[in-house]
């Protein structure tokens, strides 16, 4: 992979500044995308992806009627693919700060696998008592995804508009965490992604 710091996300950042959300297709090299998909499946096969909780702290708990994905948090030292992905996101963080003065300090994220039929009801990515999450970042890992398979992330925009983003491998979606409620619709096949947030100082 080329030096991540040399990758330009200028069109993505321009769209984020104008709309509050942006999509870039084929955002990462195809080889890295395939490695990340294989890593997600390998983690699932080893039992490392666990049902995700809702809420935080003592109030956190698994509520499959709200969300049904299985996750494992991402660390740079876990694999070369994970390290490569985090290096790309570090380049994006620096470019966002330079262009939009967002004061983003770090990133947290996880692999996510939705079994067939699983979903995540409409929600915001920012906690009521913690405003650090500023920009949501979702990268999809599913080759040859068809719209009839479902699984879109639905953004609820202004004036009752909706935007459905299908989880095709290589697609990168970013949006302002506090601004856009969204949901994950059920699919009829496994749905793999990397989901995370750029955070500012609390």
Tell me, yes or no, whether 33 lies in a domain: yes
Tell me, yes or no, whether 7 lies in a domain: no
Total count of domains within the chain: 1
Reduced to 3 states, what is the DSSP secondary structure of residue 109? strand
Pairwise CA distance, residues 91 & 110, whole Å: 18
**CA angle, corner 110, sides to 122 and 58, nearest 5?**
70
Reduced to 3 states, what is the DSSP secondary structure of residue 199? strand
Tell me, yes or no, whether 132 lies in a domain: yes
Per-residue pLDDT tens over the stretch 143-188: 999 999 999 999 999 989 999 999 999 999 999 999 999 999 999 9
Pairwise CA distance, residues 21 & 89, whole Å: 16
Q: Where are the beta strands (DSSP E) in 67-115?
A: 70-73, 104-114
User: Can you give the pTM of this predicted structure?
Assistant: 0.92
Per-residue pLDDT tens over the stretch 80-129: 999 999 999 999 999 999 999 999 999 999 999 999 999 999 999 987 77
Tell me, yes or no, whether 185 lies in a domain: yes
Pairwise CA distance, residues 9 & 11, whole Å: 6
Task: Give the residue carrying structure tokens 């996510």.
Answer: 112
> CATH code at 46?
2.60.120.620
Q: For residue 165, which of 139, 143, 135, 197 has the smallest C-alpha distance? A: 139
For residue 184, give both structure tokens.
């994950």
Tell me, yes or no, whether 160 lies in a domain: yes
Tell me, yes or no, whether 173 lies in a domain: yes
Asked which of 35-49, 123-137, 180-194 is least confident by mean pLDDT, the reply is 123-137
Pairing of strands 50-51, 182-184: unpaired
Put the strands of the sheet holding 191-200 in their side by side order.
21-24, 172-176, 133-140, 191-200, 104-114, 70-73, 50-51
End-to-end, the C-alpha distance of the chain in Å comes to 34
Tell me, yes or no, whether 1 lies in a domain: no
pLDDT score at 28: 93
Pairwise CA distance, residues 19 & 176, whole Å: 9
Residue 117: which domain range? 22-52+73-200
Tell me, yes or no, whether 64 lies in a domain: no
| pLDDT surpasses 60 at 1 | no
């Amino acid at each position: 992979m080329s030096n991540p710091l040399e990758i330009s996300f200028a069109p993505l950042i321009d769209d984020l500044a104008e709309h509050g959300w942006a999509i870039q297709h084929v955002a990462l090299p195809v080889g890295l995308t395939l490695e990340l998909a294989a890593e997600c499946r390998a983690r699932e096969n080893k039992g490392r992806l666990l049902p995700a909780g809702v809420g935080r702290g003592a109030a956190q708990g698994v509520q499959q009627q709200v969300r049904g994905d299985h996750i494992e948090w991402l660390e740079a030292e876990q694999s070369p693919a994970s390290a490569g992905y985090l290096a790309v996101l570090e380049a994006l963080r620096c470019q966002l700060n330079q262009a939009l003065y967002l004061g983003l300090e770090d990133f947290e994220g996880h692999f996510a696998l939705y079994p067939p039929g699983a979903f995540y009801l409409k929600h915001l990515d920012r906690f009521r008592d913690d405003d650090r999450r500023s920009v949501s970042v979702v990268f999809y890992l599913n080759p040859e995804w068809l719209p009839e398979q479902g699984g879109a992330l639905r953004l609820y925009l202004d004036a009752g508009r909706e935007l459905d983003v299908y989880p095709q491998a290589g697609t990168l979606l970013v949006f302002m965490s506090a601004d856009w409620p969204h949901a994950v619709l059920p699919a009829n096949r496994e749905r793999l992604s990397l989901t995370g947030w750029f955070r500012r100082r609390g």
